[in-house]
Amino acid sequence: MLNSTTVRVFADTNIAVYAESDNGEKSKRARAIIESSPVISTQVVNEVIATLTGKYAFSRLDAYEVASGLMDLCEVVPVDQGTVREAMRIAVRYQLSHWDALIVAAALEAGCDLLYSEDMQHEQVFEGRVTVTNPF
């Protein structure tokens, strides 16, 4: 894992979700990433709430508590009209789902060098600037 003090890091939703789950080594690694205060987007916060209340059956209040802690710990960047337009371009160029393209666009807009994600191709580089790393 790279040191987030030398590299600007973005964490995808799955990292934040694993940090809250009981999934052995994956959870341990995910917690270490989240504790290093990476950049996340408003999309990540909302997807964490949806995943925790859906797949993991958290109560709404518990999921909100997790999301609040996540927002306190991480740098949160917005997903706005510009981010959506960039995501549409990235989705077409790199053949990504719209949701993954929104993550990449937010990481690019935030000036990140590294994107931790389990959902995208390990070591793929976007726009010559952001490299995907699967920390698991």
Domains in the chain, start-ordered, CATH in brackets?
9-133 (3.40.50.1010)
In the numeric block, the tokens 């508590």 are attached to 65
Res 120 pLDDT > 90:
yes
pTM for the model: 0.92
Q: Which long-range contacts (CB under 8 A, 24 or more apart) does 64-71 make?
A: 66/20, 70/16, 70/34, 70/40, 70/44, 70/45, 71/45
| 23 pLDDT tier (thresholds 50, 70, 90) | confident
Residues paired with 119 in a beta bridge: none
What pLDDT does residue 5 have? 55
Q: Torsion angle of alpha carbons 116, 120, 121, 123, nearest 10°?
A: -20
Q: What is the pLDDT of residues 33-76, one digit of tens each?
A: 999 999 999 999 999 999 999 999 999 999 999 999 999 999 99
